[in-house]
Amino acid sequence: MELLDKQNERKSLWIQTTARLLYNKADNIDMVQWIIVLALPVLKMFFVQNILLNYIMMIWFLVSFVLDYFIDKYTDIATELRKSFDYYVYGWNNDFQEKLVDISKIYQVRNKKYFEHQTVNSGTDKPKGVKNWYTTVKKEMSQEEAVKSAMKENIYFDKRINNVAFLCILIFVSLLLLVLSTSGFTLYEVFFGLFITFASFTKKLYSTFVNLKKVSSINSNIENLLRANDIDLTYLQSEIDKKRSIPRTSNQLVYFFKTKKIHEEVSEFRSDV
């Protein structure tokens, strides 16, 4: 199937590498936000009357909006790049949009080493790369079978990574509730801490959980539709694009530690997809 050749063409690899780079940038900013929204309230608990810390927290409140802008910006561009990659390798478009190729060229010039590693290595190599992106597609498959297989692989990766993120949030919230229940704090003090002192952290935890739920819901819908006899593949792809545009859901740390294992799992059921 020509998908296997198309996904490893130079333009395809550049587009995918740029998408990964931008998703990573968004994830890195998100990670910085997590560290700060947790660290500042903890410091506030120890330095209650510190005026400098109060100013830092106010400045951070404004800076967080700027960081949110860049997270959304990088995620939107990366989503468009991934969408163009899929449309090209699926045979739905004859070429990439020139503006997306230009974006990739700009980032390639600025990140030559990164692009060199990414375009040579696959997902099981060290460092991990974007070569051989879809691994469950076979040469003897028809175009429709290949697209369906690629979509199933995409959903499987997403679910495995997001399940770990869900578990981390669940464990953290459980530990937090355990600590609060044994701390001797009154109900008022608990709510004051969650919604005043730790307001930024509580908001970020909630928004991350909601976004993960949205992605999970879309994945489930796509899985159900893939099992149907009459499948509108372009609609399914639009759902995948919608899912990819939801920020703060694909944690880079989880991906780093789990991707090789997931690739091994995918290779085991390759003959069944």
Task: Summarize pLDDT for 178-229 with one digit per residue, the tens.
Answer: 887 787 888 888 788 777 778 888 888 888 889 988 998 999 999 999 888 8
Question: What's the domain range around 13?
Answer: 2-272
Per the structure, how many domains does the chain have? 1
- Adjacent-strand bridge partners of 122: 131
Q: State the pTM of this model.
A: 0.86
- Residue 252 confidence (pLDDT) above 70: no
What sign does the dihedral 221-222-223-224 (CA atoms) show?
positive
Contacts for 112 with CB less than 8 Å, ≥ 6 apart: none
| Tokens matching residue 108 | 């390639």
> Would you tell me how many other CB atoms lie within 10 Å of the CB of residue 217?
11
pLDDT band at 255 (very low <50, low <70, confident <90, very high): low
Task: Summarize pLDDT for 44-78 with one digit per residue, the tens.
Answer: 878 878 899 989 988 998 999 999 999 999 999 99
